[in-house]
Amino acid sequence: MNALEKSHTVITAWADGSLVGLGNAITDEGLVVYYPHLLVAPAYQRQGIGRKIMDRLMSRYRGFHQHMLVAEAKAARFYLRCGFVRAGRTISMWVFDGREHD
């Protein structure tokens, strides 16, 4: 919750009073925006919810020099359809205190 509260933007999706999706952005407020989370409940996936959340987030930061995210392998095609491309020959690196997503 703390991470979401400190986000620059949080977009949520609701159905019948239940939270079914959310995405957030953090930014330097002028040049770079990073999208750390896009989550849609499994029962609501493939209904356009994730795409609408990304469209709203990306629209808010239109004109920024760089939009960034780290995509899980099985989500990469979704982000390609949103307009993202593989970041050249860059290598994702991290110091990570947790477990890899399955």
Predicted confidence at residue 29, as pLDDT, reads 95
Res 1 pLDDT > 70: yes
Using CA atoms, how far apart are residues 75 and 1, in angstroms rounded to an integer? 23
Predicted confidence at residue 97, as pLDDT, reads 79
Predicted confidence at residue 102, as pLDDT, reads 55
Using CA atoms, how far apart are residues 90 and 29, in angstroms rounded to an integer? 24
pLDDT tens digits, one per residue of 31-86: 999 999 999 999 999 999 999 999 999 999 999 999 999 998 899 999 999 999 99
Predicted confidence at residue 43, as pLDDT, reads 97
* C-alpha to C-alpha distances, 31 to 62, 65, 76, nearest whole angstrom: 10, 5, 24
Domain ranges of the chain: 2-81
Predicted confidence at residue 83, as pLDDT, reads 95
Chain centroid to Cα 11, Å, comes to: 10
The domain defined by 2-81 folds into Aminopeptidase (3.40.630)
